[in-house]
Structure 1
Amino acid sequence: MIKFTYLKYSSILVLFVLFASCKKTNWQENFREKEKSPFGNYIISEEATNLFPRERITFLEENFYDYLLFDNPEDSTTTRNYILIKHSAYHQTKEGIDELLNFVSQGNSAFIALNFFDERFKEELEFTTNNLDKNVWNISALKELKGEFYLKNPAFGKEPFKFDRNIRRNYFLQYSDTKTEVLGTTVVGGEKVPNFIKVYHGKGAFYLHTNPIVFTNYYMLNGKEQYAANLLSYLPNQEVLWDAHIKSSKYSSNHKSQPSVFKFFLQHPTLTWFLVVSLIGLLLFMLFNARRKQRVIPEIEPLKNTTVAFTQTIANLYLNEDNHKNLVDKKIGYFLEKVRSKYLINTNNLNEDFIHKLAAKSGNELQKTKYLINTIITLNKRAECSEEELIGLHKMIKNFFNK
């Protein structure tokens, strides 16, 4: 077992690149080696040379299965470390798992930190997991998940490593006592349960962790880098294969079982001609249909009713000229015309008989009707009227017809 010193960050440069360059912080868990958001793996991958200062580090640009079996044919007797830190190993195929197991059994080591392990992989290494927060995906809900981790090795101290967010209650539930060693624990429900184990396999060993979030940029910049260094310190001093897990296998049966539809058509002459004729027919249909298609008829908006606007303009004109008498005469004329048309009463003589008939037919009180008619008679005889008299007449007529 080797000891690692504190990670040697270029603090000013890293902080500037990580936070100052982005307009809005992305709090999604992505675990990408080139991602500088809080939950990317940019810092841990950049500091790999400090974690393994004397070892060659290869960042895989292809699938691990393809690299090991086809793109790296050299058969070296030197052992190597394999590192995978991701949410889940969704690019792993059956052949890929078999090759990884074979790789470790030959004396190599593998450090794998995942939220979700493949079921077949768990069966082969005889362990099960329990993720109590497997259905928690919301950013605000994940923020509330705190954790407390311990490492068994006394060289790392007895004090817990505390994490303040995105720590799922994910731990190893069952494992083989004969080939498994518990290296670290987490507190779940007040009890310490294993979240970091070593599984011996053939001549090598797997180092498995259930919380890959501890390796992300957020915790590397918040004083938790020593915990990540302690975890990786279990790996022996040897060449490192760092799996960015960015591509599916080109050679596995899973890949070959999904042939291209066009490739299938081109394998058969009859289907090839069918495809060509269909494409030509489609192009001809689009061409002739486009020529015959009627132009879009422009929408003509209906004429707007400007009667109200015109009336307001005329009224404002009278008000601006202070011609209140003219407006009073028009209000009186409007009132008498409506009485004639609505109540069928002759308005030539505004006497007592007229007042009684109007009060009876309109349903207004006799006293209010008499006051309105007397006001109309008075204002009709005036040569000039004030603004207050105009407003008063307007309100009385309005209240009369609202009865």
Structure 2
Amino acid sequence: MMKLQNILKTILVLSIVIFTSCNKTDWVENYKEKEKSPFGTYIISNEAESLFKDQKITVLKENFYDYSLFNIDSTKTNNYILIKNAAYKQTAAGTAELLEFVKHGNSAFIALNFFKENFKEELEFTTNNLDENKSSVAELKKLKGTFYLKQTDFGNKTYSFDRNIRRNYFLQYNKNKTIVLGTTKIDGEEVPNFIKIYHGKGAFYLHTNPVVFTNYYLLNNKEAYVENLLSYLPKDNVLWDVHIKTSKYSNENNKKPSIFKFFLQHKTLTWFLFVSLAGLLLFMLFNARRKQRAIPIIVPLKNTTVAFTQTISNLYLSEADHKNLVDKKIAYFLEKVRSRYLIETSNLNAAFMEKLAAKSGNEVQKTKYLVNTIIALNKKVECSEEELIVLHKMIENFLKK
């Protein structure tokens, strides 16, 4: 990893622009990769390729959950990096996907002020943020801190920070799978603020003070501390999560508020809804009675199933209606799942995937890929011929087990 001291020489002009060219400096913590204000992360993200030399950097312009469905090669390991105030774009499904990602031998470096509860429960740790209610610039400016690194290679050096250092630390953790890599001094006591949690074949590196990665500290001679933190990551390619997109495929993000629920929350609108439905029903009844005609006798048709099937298939092929064929292929597969494996298919969640893999004898990863492909294609308005062919082959290979 290239020394940050050398990197900062190339961006000296930037420091002048940030702190001297503006009439009023924005001291709000935003952690945005394109933001050049003191507490943005422009420097570290802009110099990522130099920091991780000979390692491919992929900036995630989509949600990690969506990216992992189609882009991660299970034969290679990666480093996932997230530096934000909180993981507000991460759903429960996204947390599960990240845990699975690390479990298979990858690494994740996550620096947050606030970790989600389900994430803490899964990794068996708790945090204590004594300054969680302090948010104004004036309040945060008074918060100072001293950090230590436990790795003997770094010596006994201390790292002092002069502002915006919340008293945020790890309170409880599973000592059987957790190593304390760094500490901070709070009320005279050293407590952990940087830990490594082993998970499956990989590991999570968690830090409770993301502010140390911002422009302000990298331009104030604190780059050595950041370099030491990131040096724990393996020499693998990097997935840098800018955390700007919500998931398109996570079921939690597909739940839209019902308009009927809104009507039922207000008494007057509820009555309006009932009266309107009753009026519509009466109109349909009287109108149907007035226009009803005698039902003619229909002679039973001959059994032309084969000819009909041939005609329909030719029609789809001539019209290139691949989406219709994809929908029918999905319906055929789900019916097979219900009849062959006796599994309910109304909710294609993680539990469904694991149960289907167990009953069918297929690998969990293969089953997840098929079901996630079905979910993605089901939401599309149009499908290509290539997608239809791939889906057909995946279903046929799956059912051969």
Q: How does 1:6-85 map to 2 (within 5 A)?
A: 6-9=5-8, 10-70=10-70, 72=71, 75-85=73-83
Q: 1:172 aligns with which of 161, 170, 173?
A: 170
Q: 1:210 aligns with which of 185, 208, 214?
A: 208
Q: CA deviation at 1:251?
A: 1.0
Between Structure 1 and Structure 2, how many residues are aligned?
A: 263
Q: Per the alignment, in what secondary structure is the counterpart of residue 248 of structure 2?
A: coil
TM-score by length of 1: 0.62
Which is worse superposed, 195-204 or 5-14?
Answer: 5-14
Indicate conservation of the 8 Å contact 1:6/1:229, yes or no.
no
Q: Residue by residue, what CA displacement relative to the aligned partner does 1:333-389 show, whole Å, maximum 9, x if unpaired?
A: xxxxxxxxxxxxxxxxxxxxxxxxxxxxxxxxxxxxxxxxxxxxxxxxxxxxxxxxx
Q: Residue by residue, what CA displacement relative to the aligned partner does 1:157-202 show, whole Å, maximum 9, x if unpaired?
A: 2021000000000000000010000000000010000000000000
Q: Residue by residue, what CA displacement relative to the aligned partner does 1:35-64 show, whole Å, maximum 9, x if unpaired?
A: 000000001111211210110001111111
Q: Per the alignment, in what secondary structure is the counterpart of residue 115 of structure 2?
A: coil
Indicate conservation of the 8 Å contact 1:3/1:233, yes or no.
no
Alpha carbons of structure 1 residues 256 and 148: separation in structure 2 relative to 1, 3 Å: same
Structure 2 counterpart of 1:354 = none
What amino acid is aligned across from residue 163 of structure 2 in structure 1?
A: R
Q: Which structure has the larger Rg over C-alpha atoms?
A: 1
Structure 2 counterpart of 1:237 = 235
Q: Per the alignment, in what secondary structure is the counterpart of residue 250 of structure 1?
A: coil
Alpha carbons of structure 1 residues 217 and 5: separation in structure 2 relative to 1, 3 Å: closer
Indicate conservation of the 8 Å contact 1:7/1:50, yes or no.
no
Indicate conservation of the 8 Å contact 2:2/2:52, yes or no.
no
Structure 1 runs not aligned, ≥5 long: 265-270, 275-403
Q: CA deviation at 1:260?
A: 8.4
Q: Does 1:221 align with 2:214?
A: no
Indicate conservation of the 8 Å contact 2:111/2:208, yes or no.
yes
Q: CA deviation at 1:16?
A: 3.6
Q: Residue by residue, what CA displacement relative to the aligned partner does 1:101-121 show, whole Å, maximum 9, x if unpaired?
A: 000000000000000000000
After superposition, the CA RMSD in angstroms is 2.1
Q: Tell me, in whole angstroms, the C-alpha distance in 1 between the residues paired with 2:241 and 2:258.
A: 28
Structure 2 runs not aligned, ≥5 long: 263-272, 277-401
Q: Per the alignment, in what secondary structure is the counterpart of residue 5 of structure 2?
A: coil
Q: Tell me, in whole angstroms, the C-alpha distance in 2 between the residues paired with 1:42 and 1:88.
A: 18
Alpha carbons of structure 1 residues 80 and 194: separation in structure 2 relative to 1, 3 Å: same
What amino acid is aligned across from residue 183 of structure 2 in structure 1?
A: T
Runs ≥4 residues deviating over 4 A: 2-5, 259-262
Indicate conservation of the 8 Å contact 2:2/2:53, yes or no.
no
Which is worse superposed, 61-70 or 27-36?
Answer: 61-70
Q: Tell me, in whole angstroms, the C-alpha distance in 2 between the residues paired with 1:106 and 1:64.
A: 16
Q: Tell me, in whole angstroms, the C-alpha distance in 2 between the residues paired with 1:126 and 1:76.
A: 26
Structure 2 counterpart of 1:187 = 185
Q: Does 1:102 align with 2:100?
A: yes
Aligned-pair identity in percent equals 65
What amino acid is aligned across from residue 27 of structure 1 in structure 2?
A: W
Q: CA deviation at 1:11?
A: 3.2
Indicate conservation of the 8 Å contact 2:2/2:51, yes or no.
no
What amino acid is aligned across from residue 232 of structure 2 in structure 1?
A: Y
Q: Tell me, in whole angstroms, the C-alpha distance in 1 between the residues paired with 2:5 and 2:52.
A: 12
What amino acid is aligned across from residue 212 of structure 1 in structure 2?
A: P
Q: Per the alignment, in what secondary structure is the counterpart of residue 138 of structure 2?
A: helix
Indicate conservation of the 8 Å contact 2:182/2:193, yes or no.
yes
Structure 2 counterpart of 1:157 = 155
Q: Tell me, in whole angstroms, the C-alpha distance in 2 between the residues paired with 1:4 and 1:96.
A: 33
Q: CA deviation at 1:3?
A: 8.2
Q: Tell me, in whole angstroms, the C-alpha distance in 1 between the residues paired with 2:197 and 2:107.
A: 10
Structure 1 counterpart of 2:122 = 124
Structure 1 counterpart of 2:199 = 201
TM-score by length of 2: 0.63
Q: Tell me, in whole angstroms, the C-alpha distance in 1 between the residues paired with 2:207 and 2:25.
A: 27
Indicate conservation of the 8 Å contact 1:83/1:240, yes or no.
yes
Alpha carbons of structure 1 residues 22 and 82: separation in structure 2 relative to 1, 3 Å: same
What amino acid is aligned across from residue 60 of structure 2 in structure 1?
A: L
Indicate conservation of the 8 Å contact 2:4/2:223, yes or no.
no
